[in-house]
Amino acid sequence: MQLINEGIEKMKGYGIYQVTIPLPFWNDNVHCYLARREGKWTIIDTAMNRNESRLAWEAAFNKYSIEPLRDVERILITHHHPDHFEYARELQQQTGANVFLSEKEQAVAQNNLDAESFSRFYLSAGMPQELVKQLQPVNTSANRFPKNVCTIETNRLYPIGELLFEAIQMPGHSDGHICFYNSEEQILLSGDHLTRETIPYISYHGYGNKNPLSLYLETIKTMQLMEISLVLPGHGPIFMDAQERINEILHHYEERIGFVLEQITGEMSAYQVSNTLFPIRSSVLEKWIALGETNAYLSYLVAKGEIREYKDGLQNKYVRM
């Protein structure tokens, strides 16, 4: 707890403040950030388009005496997932600020599967038709895309609080996920790429890079070469033991990949494999989450030559080599 408090005080010393907003699922809440520089403010991530988000931002603006239309000059988004991006349009309307998102994230946010392709993908993964009919596309960011969206340029420095942060593309959790890093103070705004209490969700749902787990492992390994003294994540507590956490995550995936391979007995669909990996998932949303993660493991194992993917009628099946 003392280390967390030290981290919070260090963060505030550079004009960076955490804004925690409740979520209806998954991690219970998301951390967004406000950063002050010469009387002007930058917002990093925005949460979902819910009344709870509106109330949380109103409270934060009041707490720090921010007049949105006068004081907020930019909105930076780490990635396009709804819990980080969906409220950006509303905040843009309140502030008049441009929204910044990486080029890959802009493309993915506006080019999800149409209804027919959506159904076809999950049926091909072996999900029963009655469940597919209950599913709705979870990512609705394309329907609420902000105006005046600017592109975050990787390797460029962005003023965040009293410091300059380099925008570094760290794909895996999403195709164009951006982390912001200040090398002098060794502070990392990590979004969902590096978190302390939960393993980042790596998944494939029929669009974007088909092997996100490989991308994630490559990029998390590059963090082993970075000097990081403070991590400001999108979920969970801020933390200082970044390298220890990176090693824990790599060890987790090494063991998990082996475990997934062991579950493939005979010819199996992705949905069948997901049911062995996550046997207690009951709701349709939970099954959707589990299937996405399973797809990521299966794509990784196919690329490694550990299993083979083939078409069996309308379904894709997997078998060990």
Task: Give the pLDDT band (50/70/90) at residue 284.
Answer: confident
User: pLDDT > 70: what percent of the chain?
Assistant: 95
3-state helix, strand, coil in the chain (%, to 5): 40, 25, 35
The dihedrals phi and psi of 109, each to the nearest 5 degrees, come to: -65, -30
Indicate if the pLDDT at residue 136 is higher than 70: no
* 310 is a domain residue: no
Kindly state whether residue 290 falls inside one of the protein's structural domains: no
Amino acid at 126: G
In a domain, 272, yes or no: no
Asked whether residue 26 is domain-assigned, the answer is: yes
Orientation angle between helical segments 212-222 and 242-263, nearest 10 degrees = 150
Q: Which of 242, 244, 239 is nearest to 3 (CA)?
A: 239
CA distance 116 to 66: 45
CATH code of 24's domain: 3.60.15.10
pLDDT over 80 (residue 176) = yes
Would you say residue 195 lies in a domain?
A: yes
Pairing of strands 163-169, 178-182: antiparallel
Q: What is the pLDDT of residue 283?
A: 85
The Cβ of residue 296 has, within 10 Å, a number of other Cβ atoms equal to 25
Q: Residue 138: pLDDT above 80? A: no
Q: pLDDT tier at 79 (50, 70, 90 boundaries)?
A: very high
Question: Considering the domain boundaries, does residue 163 fall inside one?
Answer: yes
The amino acid occupying position 134 is: Q
Q: What is the DSSP letter of 239?
A: B
**Cα of 118 vs its chain's centroid, Å:** 21
Query: What domain count does the chain have?
Result: 1
Residue 311 lies in a domain: no
Question: Domain range holding 141?
Answer: 2-259
pLDDT band at 280 (very low <50, low <70, confident <90, very high): confident
Please, what is the Cα angle at 178 between 174 and 180, to 5 degrees?
150
Report how far residue 251's alpha carbon sits from residue 221's, in angstroms, rounded to the nearest whole number.
12
- Backbone dihedral angles phi then psi of residue 218, each to the nearest 5 degrees: -65, -45
| Each residue's pLDDT tens digit, 11-59 | 889 999 999 999 987 668 999 999 999 999 999 999 999 999 999 999 9
* Residue 304 within any structural domain of the chain: no
Average pLDDT rounded to a whole number, residues 131-137: 81
Q: Please, which pLDDT band fits residue 147 given cuts at 50, 70 and 90?
A: confident
